[in-house]
Amino acid sequence: MAKTLFRDTSFGLLHLVSSIERGDIALPELQRPFVWKNASVRDLFDSMYKGFPVGNLLMWETGADANARQIGTGDKESRAPRWLVVDGQQRLTSLFSVFTGQEVVREDYSTSRIVLSFRPRDESFEVAGGITRNDPEYLPDITLLWSDDYKKVKREFFRRLQDAKGELSDDEVDAMDDVLDQVRSLQSFPFHVIELDAAIDEEQLAEVFVRINSGGVKLNQADFILTIMSVFWDEGRKELETFAQACKTPAKGTSSPFNWMIAPQPDQLLRVCIALAFRRAVMRHAYSVLRGKDLATGIVSAEARESQFARLQEAQKHVLDVTFWHEYLRCLERAGFRGEKMITSENAVIFSYVMWLVGRIDYQVPVDELREVIARWFFMAHTTRRYTGSFETQVERDLASLGTVTGADGFIRHLDQIIREQLTNDFWTITMPNELGTSASRSPALSAYLAGLNILDAESLMSTGRVRDRLDPAVTSTKGIERHHLFPKAYLSKKIGISDPKKINQIANMALVEWNVNIDISDSAPSEYWPKVIEAKGHLTEDRIAEQRRLHALPDSWPEIDYKEFLEQRRHLMAAVTREAFEKLASEQ
């Protein structure tokens, strides 16, 4: 039989709460949401009160020395915890909040208390609210039963109840007093705890978690690094969470990471930190490094761990620099991308940020020059799906390729060489037209074409307005610019016999149009409605319409062309316009 990797034990609730307060037990965010709904907490207390089993707690021994301190601190309260809660976090966090009255962090990162009320008459728990606060039969907040003044709390409860209901008999008082004492005695409720040995690795931990957890929540490698941060550098973990939350909400009068491109999760930001600090993208290796493990010998040491965390701390300072963050996001805008609706790969955003940071910090590339090369890099990475699939391997390959590169100019030349190797003539004439042969509303190739229109400062079709203005994510419009079918749906289904939505909604059959005229297109053929549109837009010159038609990739005499041939021609024209835009981007460096 294999070596047993766990110990069975039992802790009372009061012992668990005290251990959390002392910092011996940490509650990392391994599952979302952070806490249950309040009604679930009520049900948990009801089950405990009735003596029902409430499940096991799974804890992982951290292996931290009893005198170890978290990174950047030296006070007693900041010592590294001995155990991490792997399964049972929601139960313990909720119980801790009710027992101590402390606030919990909600899924949206707001904080609030969990308050439960209790009615002795029928021994029922309820989530506190206006009814329970105003009804004298309820003890409004059971947390008070675990305070030093709990006897006074009971006396005030009975006084309030008698003021409302009249004199209570001794038997009634005794019965309810016993019931309240039973609630207080929940502090001794036993919890079955499984303690996993410190020697267990993250893969074994994940397997144990899945096997014993009925919810089957899958843990990833980033979860484990966030976990180890909770042990040795909790402040760093909180910084990641705070930054991620701030990316979602505009701020007034202060600098903020808020933007229209991406609202990164803490684990995505962590990936950037790991890549910058250790040139690693495979989280399993990064996790081992942060534990202080020598990848060659397998030996774990506190000295190595402290050294690696110091590197992570330095990298994270740069990653979460708001000035750096916004300067990087300008690269995406320079590449023609105007908001998250144009982003089909968040990995492209995340790992292009890594390249920006490496260029700025390690190679000292001037900001203006860096903006241009990273704009080209992001355009390439996003369009070619560079960071999809086995993206960790690709990121490490990209970082490793910089090993012999020296100087700012060398960095720029190196990235441009990779870009040229990817965006070849075959890519523009074969790959991209094929990529456009889809009805998907979100496609890297479509985003590249729209970005190209922005780079070329194109006007909307049949309009004097610019595409980039109409795609501004900060401006909302009930109509504005829309993607319209060039060959109307009704025409294709009724006149041509094409009813398959995948054929009707092809990317090449859609264009960014502002008709803004009262024309009933309905089931009309393009040869019928297009001349009417031209006539209605009489203020647009012939040359202007021709340039719009060129940039919107409409073939010559397109209304007369067979639908299948039209799609084929337009895909190639869209790719050609995108290529023109990218070459313009490259020539303006």
Decide: helix, strand or coil at residue 343. coil
- Domain positions in the chain: 1-219, 234-423, 437-587
Burial 107-130 (b: 16+ CB within 10 A, else e): eeeeeeebbbbbbbeeeebbbbee
Three-state DSSP string of 233-285: CHHHHHHHHHHHHHCCCCCCCCCCCCCCCCCCCHHHHHHHHHHHHHCCCCHHH
**Residues 527, 559: contact at Cβ < 8 Å?**
yes
Distance (Å, rounded) from C-alpha 94 to C-alpha 104? 8
Nearest-angstrom CA–CA distance, 361 and 311: 14
Written as six digits, the tokens of 79 are 């010592």
Instruction: Give me the torsion for CA of 222, 227, 231, 234, rounded to 10°.
Output: 70
Between helices 367-383 and 346-357, what is the axis angle to 10°? 150
Query: Which residues contact residue 392 at a Cβ distance below 8 angstroms, ignoring those fewer than 6 apart?
Result: 281, 282, 283
Per-residue 3-state assignment (H helix, E strand, C coil) for 198-233: CCCCHHHHHHHHHHHCCCCCCCCHHHHHHHHHHHHC
Q: State the Cα–Cα distance between residues 201 and 198, nearest whole angstrom.
A: 8
Buried b (16+ CB within 10 A) or exposed e, 326-347: ebbbebbbbbbbbbeebbbbbb
Q: Is pLDDT above 80 for 424?
A: yes
Q: What is the mean pLDDT of the chain?
A: 90
Q: Categorize the per-residue pLDDT at 344 as very low, low, confident or very high, splitting at 50, 70 and 90.
A: very high
Distance separating alpha carbons of residues 304 and 289, to the nearest angstrom? 8
The three state secondary structure string of 400-456 is HCCCCCCHHHHHHHHHHHHHHHHCCHHHHHHHHHHHCCCCCCCCHHHHHHHHHHHHC
Alpha helices in 360-406 (DSSP H): 367-383, 391-400
The residues, ordered by sequence, that sit 6+ positions from 51 with a Cβ below 8 Å of its Cβ are none
- Pairing of the two strands 124-127 and 116-119: antiparallel
**What pLDDT is stored for residue 1 in this prediction?**
62
Around Cβ 149, how many Cβ atoms within 10 Å? 11
* Phi, psi (deg, nearest 5) at residue 135: -90, 115
Q: How confident is the model at residue 81 (pLDDT cuts 50, 70, 90)?
A: confident
Question: Going by C-beta distance under 8 Å and a sequence separation of 6 or more, which residues neighbour residue 38?
Answer: 114, 116, 127
Beta sheet of 57-61, edge-to-edge order = 6-12, 190-196, 57-61, 83-87, 25-26
What's the CA gap between 371 and 330, in Å, rounded? 7
Tell me how far CA of residue 392 lies from CA of 217, 399, 414, in angstroms: 22, 11, 20
> Which range is least confidently modeled, 97-101, 187-191, 290-294, 455-459?
290-294
- At 251 the pLDDT is 85
Stronger pLDDT, 428 or 209, i.e. the higher one: 428
In sequence order, the 6+-apart residues with CB closer than 8 A to the CB of 278 are: 286, 289, 308, 311, 312
Residue 32 CA to its chain's centroid (Å): 12
pLDDT at residue 73, rounded to an integer: 44
The fraction of the chain above a pLDDT of 90, given in percent, is 68
* pLDDT tens for each residue of 358-381: 999 999 999 999 999 999 999 999
Please write down the HEC assignment for all residues of 507-529.
HHHEEEECCCCCCCCCCCCHHHH
Q: Is the peptide bond before 33 cis (omega within 30 degrees of 0)?
A: yes
Poorest-pLDDT segment among 85-89, 98-102, 272-276 = 85-89
- List pLDDT tens digits, range 24-57: 998 754 344 566 899 999 999 999 999 999 999 9
Place of tokens 């948990």: 44
- At residue 107, φ and ψ (nearest 5 deg) are -60, -30
Residue type, 163: D
pLDDT tens digits along 209-260: 666 665 545 667 787 788 778 778 989 998 998 999 999 989 888 899 999 9
Helix (H) or strand (E) run with residue 190 in it = strand 190-196
